[in-house]
Amino acid sequence: MASALIYLFVVLAIAAVIYLLASLVFGRGEQLAPLPPGSTPTRLPPADVEGSDVRALRFQQVLRGYKASEVDWALERLAGELDELHGRIAVLERQLDAAGEQLREARAGRPGEPED
Task: Write out pLDDT tens, residues 35-84.
Answer: 666 666 667 777 677 788 778 777 766 667 776 777 777 788 788 888 88
According to the per-residue pLDDT averaged within each range, which of 31-35, 40-44, 81-85, 91-95 is highest? 91-95
Work out the pLDDT band at 99, boundaries 50, 70, 90. Answer: very high
- At residue 9, the pLDDT reads 93
**pLDDT at 92 exceeding the cut of 80:** yes
Alpha carbon 88 to its chain centroid, in Å, reads 21
Q: Is the dihedral of CA 92, 93, 94, 100 positive or negative?
A: positive
Work out the pLDDT band at 33, boundaries 50, 70, 90. Answer: low
Query: Which one is predicted more confidently, 11 or 77?
Result: 11
Determine contact, residues 41/58, Cβ cutoff 8 Å: yes
**How far apart are the C-alpha atoms of 25 and 95, rounded to whole Å?**
58
- At residue 80, the pLDDT reads 83
